[in-house]
Each structure stands twice: as C-alpha cells, then as structure tokens.
C-alpha cells in the first residue's frame, strides 16, 4: 500500500535472477542490475525463454517498463 511498493520489491531483487513477462508473449530472464521509476529494467546475462523451455542468450539489456506485464522476483 506504499507508493514505493514496486521499488522496494525490485530493490530487494538487485543482483538476483528475475523473470519478466512482456506484452506480446516474450519471456525474459536475467540478473537485475538496475531499475527506475518507470519500471525500466537493466538486466545482465539476460536470455529469452521460449515456451518449450529453450533459451536464447541476449547479454545485457534495457527493458522499457511499459512493455512489462509481470515481474517475478527470486524466491526469498
């Protein structure tokens, strides 16, 4: 209920692997390096995960927040 709920969860996920579902169906996994108030994310060792479980290495990435549906932080 705090204004900075998303920021707190993202902050706790820095340096950890997050899973990101994008509009249009793409799924990206990578190590969260940074984010901003638009939910723009910076990822390291990112990879695109396809439905059959295969992955395609993307390296370092900036993902624009307005394409994001859901972010799964790592299990705590």
Give residues in contact with its own copies (CB under 8 A).
1-11, 14, 22-24, 26, 28, 34-37, 39-40, 42, 58-73, 75-76
- The helix (run of H) or strand (run of E) holding residue 8 is helix 5-12
Q: How far apart are CA 31 and CA 47, in angstroms?
A: 10
Least CB distance from residue 25 to its own copies, whole Å? 9
Least CB distance from residue 51 to its own copies, whole Å? 12
Q: How far apart are CA 23 and CA 21, in angstroms?
A: 7
Least CB distance from residue 1 to its own copies, whole Å? 5
């Amino acid at each position: 209920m705090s204004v900075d709920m998303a920021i707190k969860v993202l902050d706790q996920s820095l340096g950890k692997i997050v899973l990101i579902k994008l509009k249009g169906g793409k799924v990206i996994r990578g190590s969260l390096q940074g984010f901003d108030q638009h939910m723009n994310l910076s990822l390291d060792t990112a990879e695109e995960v396809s439905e059959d479980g295969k992955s395609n290495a993307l390296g370092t990435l900036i993902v624009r927040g307005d394409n994001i549906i859901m972010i799964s932080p790592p299990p705590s």
